[in-house]
Structure 1
Amino acid sequence: MSQPLVSGVTSERPVAFDPLADPRLYDGVLSRRVLAFLVDFTVVLTLTAAASVVIFFLGVLTLGLAWLLYGGVFYAMAVLYSGATLGGDRAATWGMRLTGLTCRQLDGTRPGFLIASAHVVFLYFSMTILTPFVLLVGLFTRRKQLLHDLILSTVILDRGRLEGRGY
């Protein structure tokens, strides 16, 4: 079933929910996003350390050639981690799961691997330029979106309220 748009034209994908219909979906999201980021950053650092050990041994085997991978190992781990978790069935990284958050696109669908990977790339890029002011954007948007959310048309929501467990 598709939703009518303008003059009888219908969209191809049905809208799962209206992300602006319930502003309570965004209550406390910004503060929980900070905690989720810290958890996820720790996970990515741990994955980077493990990958660095593997790269070291590969470097020994390749007479130092694999050591060129050290420059991008953190970014590769961040993209793979976010793509696999944020782009997965739960649409949340481990930090987001811990803090009760989930990600959706504006039409209500879950982001795929590509959107999730772009999400972390834009996050780190915006943090590099705007830190700590990257959070200020979220204070002035109705859906508590940060700059990278606005670019990718995603929203971070309270998972409990979205699933009907809210109070």
Structure 2
Amino acid sequence: MATDFLGRMLRNDLPDPNTSPELFEGILTRRAVAFVIDCIIMGAAILVVTLVAGILGIFTFGLTWLSIPLIVPVTFVAYYAVTLGSPSRATLGMRATDIVLTPTRETTLDGWMAMIHVVVFWISCSLLTPFIILIGLFTPRRQLLHDMIVGTLMVRRSPMVRHWQAYARTGNPAG
């Protein structure tokens, strides 16, 4: 096992872009499309929750209106935690574009790691946009800055299923 810069152990079964290029084919474009789909879904959810809070504010003498500034960040974090932390390890946009999030370290991808992933993503986006996308052009596995910090990898789902099956069968990710 290789050791990364944080001293944690990297998994043995991580795909190699040289032997499994189909896993990384168009991954940055797919991520961008998935992000747009997810933003549309979250935008609709934010609109509905804001309208409900606005209407409830009338009946609660404005008390519910105090929650309106929290709606956007809570919606973003909750959406990613529920979808990325699920067994499918993908948001609705990621499912539509056939990509999945995989941990690169000896850990599982749960709701907490998904929440950390989205918080680091938004922090890095707000500080370094568009440079986080440029990093993906120069990393062999097309990882973005927040992927490397959190210890995740985005790959195409359908070829990845074949990769995991080959690894489980032979103990060798190449098949």
Q: Same fold (TM over 0.5)?
A: yes
The alpha carbon displacement at 1:131 in A equals 2.0
Question: What is the CA deviation profile of residues 40-65 of structure 1, one whole-angstrom value per residue up to 9, with x for unaligned ones?
Answer: 01111111011111211232222112
What is the match of residue 18 of structure 1?
Answer: 14
Q: d(CA) in 1 for partners of 2:117 and 2:70?
A: 17
Contact 1:91 1:110 in 2 (8 A): no
Q: 1:150 aligns with which of 148, 151, 170?
A: 148
Contact 1:23 1:143 in 2 (8 A): no
The alpha carbon displacement at 1:152 in A equals 0.5
- Report SS of the residue matched to 1:156: strand
Q: Under a length normalisation based on structure 1, what TM-score does the superposition of the two structures give?
A: 0.83
Number of matched residues? Answer: 154
What is the match of residue 60 of structure 1?
Answer: 58
The alpha carbon displacement at 1:109 in A equals 6.1
Q: State the one-letter code of the partner of 1:18.
A: L
Q: d(CA) in 1 for partners of 2:60 and 2:142?
A: 48
Q: How does 1:85-96 map to 2 (within 5 A)?
A: 85-96=83-94
- Report SS of the residue matched to 2:89: coil
What is the percentage of aligned positions where both structures have the same residue? 34
Q: State the one-letter code of the partner of 1:115.
A: M
Q: Please list every run of 5 or more consecutive structure 2 residues that lacks an aligned counterpart in the other structure.
A: 3-10, 164-175
Q: d(CA) in 2 for partners of 1:20 and 1:139?
A: 16
Contact 1:103 1:154 in 2 (8 A): yes
Q: d(CA) in 1 for partners of 2:36 and 2:108?
A: 23
Q: Under a length normalisation based on structure 2, what TM-score does the superposition of the two structures give?
A: 0.80
Q: Please list every run of 5 or more consecutive structure 1 residues that lacks an aligned counterpart in the other structure.
A: 7-14
Identify the range of structure 1 (60-69 vs 143-152) with the bigger mean alpha-carbon deviation. 60-69
- Report SS of the residue matched to 1:57: helix
Distance 1:94 1:40, change over 3 A: same
Distance 1:18 1:115, change over 3 A: same
